[in-house]
Copies of this chain bind each other. A is one copy, B any other.
């Protein structure tokens, strides 16, 4: 739905052929400059975009999780998105004749999400702003969850958001894995990095230096994090 800095990094590194999204910015800061460069200038390669509004994305993920071929919602009428996205169609209510928007179900090949806890069996507990993560996991052919910690007992409160191990392909302990974003109960977002990213990503050369040094030049997440800590103002 809302591609964040990691998407910008993937796009700038030339790993993305197509982006399906409903809001693409640096939240509270401004633009995703690598996304903009790809869309505006085709750098480092042209990117295909399939653009929705949030409600349409949410309906499409829910439809995917529900094994329905499409999601249905009111909305999109009279707006320009329907002119450019052929995957937004309209159907008629068989009872009232009302016109409703229809979006094909999202069925990702792989969904990756970060949660707070897993138990040793691989059941995952998440809380706070859970967003569309449950739907994205259940809609996917395979789902990978990284967690802050693996514990003996989740002590899940009643009706909390739990993903049973048997709907997941892999659960991995990655402390700090939501970086630079939030993990509620563990850490706040690294706001300095969000601001620094605006500078890093604005320029192709600066971006290239950054990704060569911190991503391509490190062998795992821990080394990547250490490498960032060593850099002045993340650049």
Q: Measuring CB to CB, which residues of chain A are less than 8 angstroms from any residue of chain B?
A: 67-70, 72-74, 87, 89-91, 93-96, 98, 100, 102, 104, 127-128, 130, 157-161, 184
In Å, the complex CA distance between A214 and B76 comes to 55
Instruction: Let me know if A127 and B158 touch, CB within 8 A.
Output: yes
> Looking at chain A's contact residues, is the secondary structure mostly helix, strand, loop, or mixed?
loop
Q: Given A158-B127, A158-B157, A159-B127, are A93 and B69 also a contact pair (CB < 8 Å)? A: yes
Min C-beta distance of A114 to chain B, whole Å = 16
- Give the residue of B73, B104, B158 whose beta carbon is less than 8 angstroms from that of A160: B158
User: Chain copies in the assembly?
Assistant: 2
Q: List 11 A-B contacts (CB under 8 A).
A: A67-B74, A68-B74, A69-B93, A69-B100, A70-B94, A87-B95, A89-B94, A91-B91, A93-B102, A127-B157, A128-B159
CB distance from A6 to the nearest CB of B (A): 24
- Distance, CA A83 to CA B73, complexed state (A): 28
A51 shortest CB reach to chain B, Å: 17
User: Complex: how many Å from CA A96 to CA B158?
Assistant: 39
Assess the B74–A72 pair: CB atoms within 8 A: no
